[in-house]
């Protein structure tokens, strides 16, 4: 019985794959082909030194630390994996993001995870080619309240060897900057 079900599923999938119109096949091909937005992400591949500034209280000076980052395109150039290592509040910090451009939805999508929490942040946004700035908006879990908190991230490519990341907490109509990272390409 199990073999019959597997055979039926295989035939159904084969029939579905071969019954697509040329337009549908082209749409699938276009969706899986890296384009200019993927190339923009890839231009920031490599190893980076990072100067991290964090504001716990926006009225006080930031705490500043050093970190390292490694960016690489994965899965045929569709996504950029970014691995971060440093110290935060006197503790080792590790984080990872996956960022890609969804050719079908025409938007960037990014996730963030780190060893300071078990939640996954999800962001979406657009690239302003004139300013070389990617602006992402989304939410992250606030463990203190158990509620989602709105956030905004701004990634600005300053040159081939430098870019800046800024993160803002969005509270109503106010955006409060709580992090800035300036990246310099390692020699």
15-49 residue pLDDT tens: 555 568 888 888 888 888 999 999 999 999 999 99
Looking at the fold, whether 48 and 20 belong to one and the same domain comes out as no
Report d(CA 100, CA 16) in Å as an integer.
Answer: 28
How many domains are there within the chain? 2
Alpha carbons 173 and 50: distance in angstroms, whole number: 30
Q: Residue 110 — φ and ψ, nearest 5°?
A: -135, 145
Query: Looking at residue 150, what DSSP letter applies?
Result: E
Task: Tell me: do 65 and 17 sit in the same domain.
Answer: no
**15 and 84 inside one domain:** no
Nearest residue to 96 via CA among 74, 78, 118, 115: 115
Together in a domain, 7 and 94: no
Same-domain check for residues 26 and 90: no
Statement to judge: residues 85 and 43 lie in one domain: yes
pTM for this predicted structure = 0.84
Query: Does 55 share its domain with 130?
Result: yes
Instruction: Determine the pLDDT at residue 58.
Output: 82
Alpha helix ranges (H) inside the chain: 2-18, 22-31, 36-42
Same domain, 26 and 111: no
CATH code, domain carrying 99: 2.40.128.20
Q: 122 lies in which domain range?
A: 36-185
User: At residue 3, does pLDDT exceed 90?
Assistant: no
| Residue 18, phi then psi, degrees to nearest 5 | -85, -10
Tell me the average pLDDT of the chain: 90
- pLDDT of 140-186, one tens digit each? 988 888 899 999 999 999 999 999 999 999 988 899 999 999 999 99
- The verdict on 26 and 80 lying in the same domain is no
């Amino acid at each position: 019985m199990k073999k019959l079900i597997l055979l039926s599923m295989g035939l159904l999938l084969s029939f579905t794959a071969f019954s697509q119109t040329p337009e549908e096949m082209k749409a699938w091909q276009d969706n899986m082909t890296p384009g200019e937005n993927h190339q923009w992400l890839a231009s920031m591949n490599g190893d980076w030194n990072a100067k991290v500034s964090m504001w716990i209280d926006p009225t006080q000076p930031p705490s500043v630390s050093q970190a390292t980052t490694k960016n690489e395109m994965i899965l045929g150039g569709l996504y950029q994996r970014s691995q971060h290592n440093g110290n935060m509040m006197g503790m080792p910090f590790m984080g990872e993001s996956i960022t890609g451009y969804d050719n079908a939805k025409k938007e960037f999508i990014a996730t963030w995870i780190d060893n300071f929490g078990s939640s996954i942040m999800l962001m979406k946004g657009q690239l302003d080619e004139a300013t070389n700035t990617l602006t992402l908006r989304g939410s992250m879990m606030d463990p203190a309240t158990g509620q989602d908190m709105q956030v905004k991230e701004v990634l600005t490519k300053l040159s081939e060897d430098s870019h800046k990341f800024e993160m803002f907490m969005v509270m109503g109509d106010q955006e409060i900057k709580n992090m800035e990272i300036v990246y310099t390409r390692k020699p």
